[in-house]
Structure 1
Amino acid sequence: MKDNDQTNIDIFWMEKALSLAKTALDVGEIPIGSLVIKDQKLIGGACNLSISNSDPTAHAEILALRKAGEYLKNYRLPDTTIYTTIEPCTMCLGAMVHARISRLVYGALEPKTGAVVSNFKILEKFDYNHKFQVKGGVMADEAGKLIKDFFRKKRAPR
């Protein structure tokens, strides 16, 4: 596959992840959306539900991985790509390692808790028993704006 073809595919799926992020925003959640794709088919998708579910682990990535596992009837998710609108945190990256995904594509950087490149760089620092490809910055402006606007509004004086 040509790089340009893969870029178009990444944009296609990231647009869908951004749509899920907007759904999260509509229900008062932090606007993050994630999708798990296998053979160009959606097998798991979710938005953040930590606030609604009173569950600190209900990140979009974790919920999407759970749905994909249920779909495949397997806790391992080989040959899958996860698309997420924001750079994942350490918990979500750890789950991706355990799930044995093949590829991670994310949108905007997360300067406070991002664990791929922003802060911890945990995939580089530790010798995990599973490695996967990482591509960041896909539709980063759109994803970043959603998060910034959410927190700006949340912190604005009332």
Structure 2
Amino acid sequence: MANIKVENRMYTDEDCMKLAIREAESGLKLYNYPFGCCIKMEDEIITAHNTCIVEKSNVRHAEINAIDKLMDKRGREKIEIFCTTEPCLMCLGAIHWSGIKRVVYGCSIKDSIAVGFNEIDISIKDIVQSQNLDIEIVSGYMRDECEELFLKWKKINRIMRWVNHER
């Protein structure tokens, strides 16, 4: 299962995005994809990273892993999610059904596609607006720091391909 942490204290947006980035870096160390997230509920947080590779499951995105842990904490007034990369369509559905009212992300879906991820090229902003969903979207937050994760992933990915080729 995901590396999920629950902590209590007051967190700023910057704190939450830094935790999402740190979580993505933890996932990278385990050879997972470079995605992390942090869910904030008042003074409590949940962090998780992508585990698709380790769990051999295409649906173990960071957002899904964190939302799984969120389920026993529903009923909170204000739930926010901070993602290193714009959530995909699957994760947006889970965000909506979980009652999360604010999404803050760093890199866009287009950024993810540009480095080679197989994403559907639709922005969650467009979906939220067209479906009149009650979700605030903040894009490009700490984008440069989040983009560094892609560079780290590309380096690890090249090393892994080289190691596997040498066998």
TM-score if structure 1 supplies the norm length?
A: 0.80
Post-superposition Cα deviations, 1:58-98, rounded to whole Å, max 9, x if no partner, equal: 0000111111113x1x4x66510001111111100111111
Deviation for aligned residue 1:144: 1.0
In structure 2, how many angstroms separate the alpha carbons of the residues matched to 1:89 and 1:77? 24
**Equivalenced residues, count:** 143
In structure 1, the residue matched to 2:6 is: none
Query: What is the rounded CA distance, in whole Å, between the counterparts of 1:55 and 1:122 in structure 2?
Result: 25
Could you tell me how far apart the structure 2 residues matched to 1:122 and 1:77 are?
Answer: 24
CA contact (8 A) 1:77 1:101 kept: no
Check if 1:51 corresponds to 2:53: yes
Three-state SS of the structure 2 residue aligned to 1:121 is: helix
Q: Which runs of 5+ in 2 are unaligned?
A: 1-10, 114-118, 163-167
Aligned counterparts, 1:10-89, within 5 A: 10-42=13-45, 44-70=46-72, 72=73, 74=74, 78-89=77-88
d(CA) in 1 for partners of 2:128, 2:154: 28
- The corresponding residue for 1:5 is none
Task: Confirm whether residue 134 of structure 1 aligns to residue 137 of structure 2.
Answer: yes
Equivalence for 1:4: none
Question: What's 1:147 paired with?
Answer: 150
Q: Deviations over 1:99-138 (max 9, x none)?
A: 1211011111121236436xx832233x25x421111112
> Per the alignment, do residues 21 and 116 of structure 1 end up closer, same or farther by CA in structure 2, a change over 3 Å counting?
same
Question: What is the DSSP-based 3-state SS (H/G/I as helix, E as strand, rest coil) of the residue aligned with 2:95?
Answer: helix
C-alpha distance in 2, partners of 1:20/1:99? 21
Indicate whether 1:124 and 2:110 are aligned.
Answer: no
RMSD of aligned alpha carbons: 2.2
Equivalence map 1:86-97=2 (5 Å): 86-97=85-96
Q: CA–CA distance in 1 between the matches of 2:82 and 2:35?
A: 11
In structure 1, stretches of 5+ residues that fail to align are 1-7
